[in-house]
Amino acid sequence: MRIAPSTIRALLLAVAALVCLPAAAFAQGPPTTTTPSASTTTTPTTPTPPAATATPSLYLSREFLLAGHAVTVPRRAVDVTGVVRPYVAGQTVTVREFLGRRQFRSVQLSLKPSPQMSYGGFVWPVASPSDGTVTVVVQHAATPGMSAFSAQTRFTALRPTITFGSRGRFVQLVQQRLRALHFFTTQSGVYDSGTGLAVDAYHRMLGRGTSQLLDRRTLTELLNGFGKFRIRFPHQGRHAEGDLTHQLLALADGSAIHWILPISSGKPSTPTILGSHQIYSRVPGYLPDGMYFSDFFIRGFAIHGYDPAPDYPASHGCMRLPIVDAIPVFKWLGFGDWVDTYYR
């Protein structure tokens, strides 16, 4: 069957018209309208920093050391210093104090910042109510800013009873403190005659008369390092000074005191000559009149050992030393050393 050319042209025009229509003309249903949604603002979350890991350290002060062990006496405070690194604001610690296994005090303390804010710390005095081993425990409970920690330290409170013949660490402590103030004594650990003489010399320096026994007040002052012999002639180098007011002899090198010892100077009828003199003769051993290891500084006047050497002026003008002190003094002095005698 033949199709007329006019018909073919009509069909082609219809197809072309369809091709030119937009694609939306072939969509099903009514057109839709899209409304843009409102935007949502999100705030970023800052992560919580982890708790700081604490490094605690404890230190003691105002204690005494005997063979590396910290000691004191009852009711005398020892300062416990705590240092915690790093510093975190608002932290506290609990300080618990034990005598043996018995807790006798507990307190909560705030950690104070160091000047550079690099660590926190505290200082707390701990005084034992009686003799025994004192343990100080410092604890911190974990907080958001700092981890938990615990630290402890110890010292011993010695029983402060002493008589002639006593032995032990408390005697060693007394001897140590006497030597720290330059009183001549040994570190024997026995309360012997030499220790008694040193205690007597300490009483004299304090102006409290004479006594070879320690009372509580004198012990407290000894442990606190109270009292000082004041050198009058430091320019003389190695020399001896006789303080006739307090009946004491000081051996010194310049202003540095080596030893302080008790003496018995001239009695009122035969007083010791005052002034500055030099040793011109030295005699070891005994002389016929009982003088022992003698250093003569003017005419027949000398520093020497003698028995007795009482705790008051009793000689014929010399400066008597107890026999046990004579040889150490003789070994320390030499020819030409100055000897100064005076009243304060």
Over residues 182-209, the mean pLDDT reads 96
Domain holding 143: CATH number? 2.60.40.10
Instruction: State the residue range of the domain holding 176.
Output: 169-223
Q: Apex CA 337: angle with CA 334 and CA 339, to 5°?
A: 120
Domain holding 307: CATH number? 2.40.440.10
Rounded to the nearest angstrom, the gap between the alpha carbon of residue 7 and the centroid of all alpha carbons in its chain is 122
Q: Note the pTM of the prediction, 2 decimals.
A: 0.82
Whether residue 244 sits in one domain with residue 212 = no
Q: Apex CA 340: angle with CA 206 and CA 185, to 5°?
A: 50
Whether residue 243 sits in one domain with residue 214 = no
Whether residue 242 sits in one domain with residue 217 = no
Whether residue 216 sits in one domain with residue 259 = no
The DSSP-derived string for 136-182 is EEEEE---SSB--EEEEEEEEEPP----TT-BSHHHHHHHHHHHHTT
Whether 32 is covered by a domain: the verdict is no
Q: Which of 157, 181, 200 is the last residue of a domain?
A: 157
Average pLDDT, whole number, for the chain?
A: 90
Q: Look at residue 71 in the predicted model and tell me its pLDDT.
A: 98
Whether 94 is covered by a domain: the verdict is yes
Q: Among 8-17, 60-69, 222-231, whose mean pLDDT is lowest?
A: 8-17
Whether 306 is covered by a domain: the verdict is yes
Whether 15 is covered by a domain: the verdict is no
Q: Report whether pLDDT(28) > 70.
A: no
Maximal C-alpha separation, the chain: 178
Give the Cα separation of 285 and 97 in Å (integer): 57
Whether 129 is covered by a domain: the verdict is yes
Helix (H) or strand (E) holding 72: strand 69-72
Whether residue 333 sits in one domain with residue 238 = yes
Q: Look at residue 103 in the predicted model and tell me its pLDDT.
A: 98
Give the Cα separation of 304 and 242 in Å (integer): 13
Q: Look at residue 101 in the predicted model and tell me its pLDDT.
A: 96
Q: Look at residue 49 in the predicted model and tell me its pLDDT.
A: 81
**Structure confidence by residue, pLDDT tens digits, 269-289:** 999 999 999 999 999 999 999
The DSSP-derived string for 194-252 is HHHHHHHHHHHHTTS---SS--HHHHHHHHTT---PPPS-GGG-EEEEEETTTTEEEEE
At 27, the pLDDT band (50, 70, 90 cuts) reads very low
Q: Look at residue 40 in the predicted model and tell me its pLDDT.
A: 55
Whether 21 is covered by a domain: the verdict is no
What is the number of structural domains in the chain? 3
Q: Look at residue 211 in the predicted model and tell me its pLDDT.
A: 95
Q: Which of 136, 157, 178 is the last residue of a domain?
A: 157
